[in-house]
Amino acid sequence: MLGYDDKRNFYRMMINSPCSVTLADDPTKASMSAVCKDISATGMSVEMGEVSLELGTLLEISIESNSDQIPSLNAKAKVVRCDSIDDGAYLVGVEISEMN
């Protein structure tokens, strides 16, 4: 649980859900597998293996739902942070610009 010291406008929900990430400017629209670690009303963090992304890179992120009652999430987002973590993976913070 996040405390007051976090000082975010929106609380983050930890989800650890598989997702697919596509570079918005990639004409082939090849998607990469990732794990959405958390999400809030305006952003999310995604763990990706061995892919460092430049700040400002535009992405399309899809999280498939396993429930008929909850729709899948499709978001357009911009990379605002990319940090190297253990074993060559990266934790990518994105700002959501549009959700479907």
> CA 31 → CA 8, 26, 48, distances in Å?
30, 10, 12
pLDDT in tens, 69-87: 989 999 999 999 999 998 8
Segment 60-69 shows an average pLDDT of: 93
Q: pTM, whole model, 2 decimals?
A: 0.84
pLDDT at site 3: 53
In terms of Cβ atoms closer than 10 Å to its own Cβ (0-12, 13-18, 19+), residue 74 is middle
